Structure 1
Amino acid sequence: MIPPRRGTYTHVVNEMTAPAPTNPAPTPERQRSQDWLARGGLRPTRQRLALAEILAGDGLDRHVTAESLFAAVTGTGEKVSLATVYNTLRAFCAAGLLREIAVDSSRSYFDTRTDTHPHFLWEEDSRLTDAPAEALRFASLPEPPPGTVISHVDVIIRIRRD
């Protein structure tokens, strides 16, 4: 046996007792979030996964603002800046995973349900919820200007309690 060089040491690992590296199976929420990001063709970065778990981890539909999502992710202990939340929401929209609903010139909600459907905006607490689409009827829509097409119609019904 060749002696070790000066300043080095030898280390023997007993392969029978050394723990094998493990990659635990992701939780259902994490897996759903990873699948959601994959549907949009987005790489699952740490920040995207943290936000995706809040938005899509339980499979329920959500209406969030950037600020409410920032508060929710901060509450999990994840370190994400508000600017990152805004940028990530824009990336989710561009990938078709979210739909932005502008309720006025200074406030937008982001909806995980991306089909065309109406919304109730609750004036008391600025909450946005889905409204029943089957009750909504349009006789017609105006012709769009030449060279354009209607991409979608946002219907926001503002309500307040009596």
Structure 2
Amino acid sequence: MSKGPMNKQEVLETLRDAGVNPTSQRVEIGYILFAEHAHLSAEEIMQRVNADYAVVSKATVYNTLGLFAQHGLVREVIVEPGKVFYDSNVAPHHHFYYVDTGDLMDIPAQHLRLAQQPQLPEDTELEEVDIVLRVRKRKPMSEGSRLRQ
């Protein structure tokens, strides 16, 4: 997606162009997702959509995000069981996932290459490669350990 910030009319047109019926709830969710490039969970999207007053249920948020993913409007990035981010950048790229902070950061596709693709099972084709590197911030060395080195 990653076209830059969109107004609500542009969101509505984007949904229509993708074959998604632009209900008011879907436009609100799309507006949050496409306002800026971010990696958001369904809960974060629901909080932002309902910041002023509750307009969208949890079920509607999850169903809409699934629909957007099916139509290529967002990517689902599964970083661990039960932890999914929705990414409006649908161009090929990978991610760093900071396990200590929960942050997700893009890695341009050209910065990470597989030396060799594994043999695919019979009667299958590769859809995409999505790599998530799990990292954590280094802990600063204590004064005692620095002196021993």
Per the TM superposition, whether the score is higher than 0.5 is yes
Unpaired segments of 5 or more residues in structure 1?
A: 1-27
2:24 corresponds in structure 1 to 46
Greater relative contact order (Cα 8 A, min sep 6): structure 1 or 2?
Answer: 2
Larger Rg: 1
2:11 corresponds in structure 1 to 33
CA deviation map 1:26-81 (0-9, x unaligned): xx61122112212211111110011011111x3x3221111111111111424111
- 2:140 is the alignment partner of 1:131: no
Secondary structure of the residue that 2:53 maps to in structure 1? coil
CA distance in 1, matches of 2:85, 2:70: 15
1:151 corresponds in structure 2 to 127
**Matched-pair identity in %:** 35
- 2:93 is the alignment partner of 1:117: yes
Residues 50 and 78, structure 1, Cα contact 8 Å, conserved in 2: no
CA distance in 1, matches of 2:7, 2:52: 14
Unpaired segments of 5 or more residues in structure 2?
A: 1-5, 139-149
CA distance in 2, matches of 1:130, 1:76: 30
Secondary structure of the residue that 2:7 maps to in structure 1? helix
Secondary structure of the residue that 2:77 maps to in structure 1? strand
Secondary structure of the residue that 1:145 maps to in structure 2? coil
Name segments (4+ residues, structure 1) moved above 6 Å: none
